[in-house]
Amino acid sequence: MRLLNSRIIRFLVGIWLPILLIWWWWTWSADSVDPFFPPLSAIWEQFKFNWIWQYVPIHVFPSLRNLFAGYFIGIFAGVTLGALLGANPRVSRYFEPVIDFLRSIPPVATVPVFILFFGLDAQMRIAAVAVAACFPTLLSTMQGFRATDPTLLDTGKVFRLTPFQMMWKVRVPNASPIIWSGLQVSLQIAFVVTIASEILGSGFGIGAFTTISIDSFMILDAWTGVVLLGLLGFALNVIFDLVERWSLRWYIGQKKLAS
Amino acid sequence: MSGKPLRIPAGLVSAVVALLIWQIATTWGPLAGTSVPTATSTLAELWNMLFMSETWDSIWQTIQMALYGFLIAVAIAIPVGILIGLSRFAFISTKFTFDFFKVIPPIVIIPITILVFGPTLQMGVFLVVFAIVFALAVQTAYGVRDADPVLIETMRCYGMGRAKQVLFARLPAASPFIAIGIRISVSAAMIVAVVAGLVGGAPGLGHDLLLAQTNGQNTVTFAIVLILGILGLAVSRLVVFLQRRLIFWTAS
């Protein structure tokens, strides 16, 4: 198994299974007459027809806009509140039970509540995504700030750092690996809530497109929606990983040196 | 935990304040006269619902979907994870595929499951399995690979077979990983069981929530959301409690 140390071999070993699975799906479904499982080749043709680029402006753009608007509002609030609460344990003790309760509500279950507040427009979606995305970031930021090494804080005091410097040179870098893991969970939840808000509130978006296709028995269209959402969910995670690795490169380097 | 004796009062104070803010906002504040119900009417509705058998049926259906799905996922994921973890070739071969499915949220495949299963309990169970099986298998595999190589070599020198190595070295090493995976899986299972009802029409609290909202029963909508919060909190507390009891040899 020495062979597996080579990067190219590892890559080849990594992709045989996905290729096999797709090939298997392709041949198994090739002459399928089951209306629910159309041939993959037909799904692919329909996919090209729908998503390159005919429906992209009316369905993909609104989905992505709601997702990112909600996500960035949510994580901004999460980091801000989390930093305030994490740095002030006396205050946070009073907020924790309420936060604990609110985050125990399944994020998607809040969508009906937001429909009550805002109706079915884009505001509702963005608000639902923002609130759902806020909690994981809020919790991880609190945890990250609370876990600041006391020695580091004391050292900072000895060097007479201003509170501002203390925040940006000591507390934030120290908490950032944990905050990043919260940001990733937030992104995954934001993605789910975006889709849910589109399915529950009729209208535009990839989720709405897929549900409407099911309801009107356009099975091929529904499959293209599912495939697109799957690819999108995966792509979001890959992009996030790249951004995270880039911005935490100092930390990853440190850990490598330490081990 | 220096403030331990203060913990319960702090929680009570904040809960009461939160309810008061809700009540004031909906009677005199910015939310007065909107479709958002007051805290007192929501709590009254919640109290009423506690005496209706339908509520408990729904709670039980939701728990059933989560529980069956969770058990099936564990029964698949842990053996598969152990097997994958034992061979470097298998680990690298499956990594991409499992990582791909791991990050795909189950809500994405709900349209397909509606076609296959219809809005049934089975659909909910399937979605729960799909939601947790890949992550749990990967987590188990990581744990199995984390076993001390010196210990494994030593066992091999003493002529202990693969089965014994797995039982006495690999599984104990993997158990903290599996424990974390299971803790996350239980919460995920409950959430997905609710989503299956809300978005896919499977029976249970999620479906009740959807019906209440589309019928304009606003107090019921809020009351169900409260039930979901209480249920989620109870489940996560229960898992933490059980894990402290069962896996006592790992700190935290």
Interface of A with B in 181-210 (CB under 8 A): 188, 191-192, 195-196, 199-200, 207, 210
Interface touch A109/B18, C-beta < 8 Å: no
Mutate to test the interface with A, among B199, B209, B215 (most CBs of A within 10 A): B199
Name the residue in chain A with its Cα closest to that of B18: A98
Cα distance between residue A4 and residue A6, in whole Å: 5
Please report, rounded to a whole number, the percentage of residues in chain A having pLDDT higher than 90. Answer: 54
- Scanning A13-52 for CB atoms below 8 A from B yields 13-18, 21, 36
| Inter-chain touch A17–B93, beta carbons under 8 Å | yes
Query: Which amino acid is residue A170, in one-letter code?
Result: V
Q: Is the pLDDT of residue B50 over 90?
A: yes
- What does the pLDDT look like over B53-108, one tens digit per residue? 999 999 999 999 999 999 999 999 999 999 999 988 899 999 889 989 998 999 99
pLDDT digits 0-9 by tens, B151-174 = 888 888 888 888 888 888 888 888
**Residues of chain A positioned with their CB less than 8 A from the CB of B14:** 94-98
Query: Hey, are the CB atoms on A95 and B228 less than 8 Å from each other?
Result: no
Sorted by sequence, the CB contacts under 8 Å of residue A225 that are 6+ apart come out as A206, A207, A209, A210, A213, B111
Q: Does B92 touch chain A (CB under 8 A)?
A: yes
A208: nearest CA in chain B? B111
Cα B240 from Cα B150, distance rounded (Å): 32
Cα distances from B249 to residues A28, A163, B45, B127, B128, in angstroms, run 48, 41, 45, 33, 29
CB contact A3 to B (< 8 Å) = no
Nearest to A201 by CA among A186, A188, A191, A211: A211
Is it the case that residue B52 has pLDDT exceeding 80? yes
Q: pLDDT value at position A2?
A: 64
B189 pLDDT band, cuts 50/70/90, is: very high
ipTM for the predicted complex: 0.90
Q: Test A233 with B212 for CB contact under 8 angstroms.
A: no
User: What CA–CA distance (Å, rounded) separates B205 from B210?
Assistant: 9
Find the residue in A nearest to B113 (Cα).
Answer: A36
The pLDDT > 70 percentage for chain A reads 98
B contact residues 11-50, partner A, Cβ 8 Å cutoff: 11, 13-15, 17-18, 34-36
pLDDT at A66 over 60: yes
Of B1, B226, B36, B46, whose CA–CA distance to A96 is shortest? B1
All residues of chain B having their beta carbon less than 8 Å from the beta carbon of residue A223 are 112
What ranges do the domains of chain B cover?
A: 52-246
B107 touches chain A (CB under 8 A): yes
Question: What residues does each domain of chain A span?
Answer: 40-258
B3–A195: do the CB atoms touch at under 8 Å? no
Please state which architecture CATH assigns to domain B52-246: Orthogonal Bundle (1.10)
Q: Does domain A40-258 have CATH number 3.40.140.10?
A: no
Q: Which of A123-127, B20-24, B120-124, B246-250 has the lowest mean pLDDT?
A: B246-250
What Rg value do the Cα atoms of chain A yield, rounded?
A: 23
Which residues in chain B touch residue A12, judged by CB atoms under 8 angstroms apart? none
Instruction: Quickly state the pLDDT bin for B2 (edges 50, 70, 90).
Output: very low
Q: Evaluate if residue A185 carries a pLDDT over 90.
A: yes
Q: How far apart, in Å, are the Cα atoms of B123 and each of A112, B118, B192?
A: 22, 7, 11
Two tokens, residue A239: 């992009």
Mean pLDDT over residues A129-148, rounded? 92
The answer to whether residue B3 scores a pLDDT higher than 60 is: no
Mean pLDDT, rounded, for A183-187: 95
| A115 touches B: beta carbon within 8 Å | yes
Helices assigned H by DSSP within chain A? 7-29, 40-51, 61-87, 89-104, 111-118, 122-146, 150-158, 163-165, 172-200, 206-215, 219-247, 249-258
Q: Smallest CA–CA separation between B73 and chain A, in Å?
A: 20
Token couple for B34: 């909107």
pLDDT digit string, tens, across residues A210-242 = 999 998 989 999 999 999 999 999 999 999 999
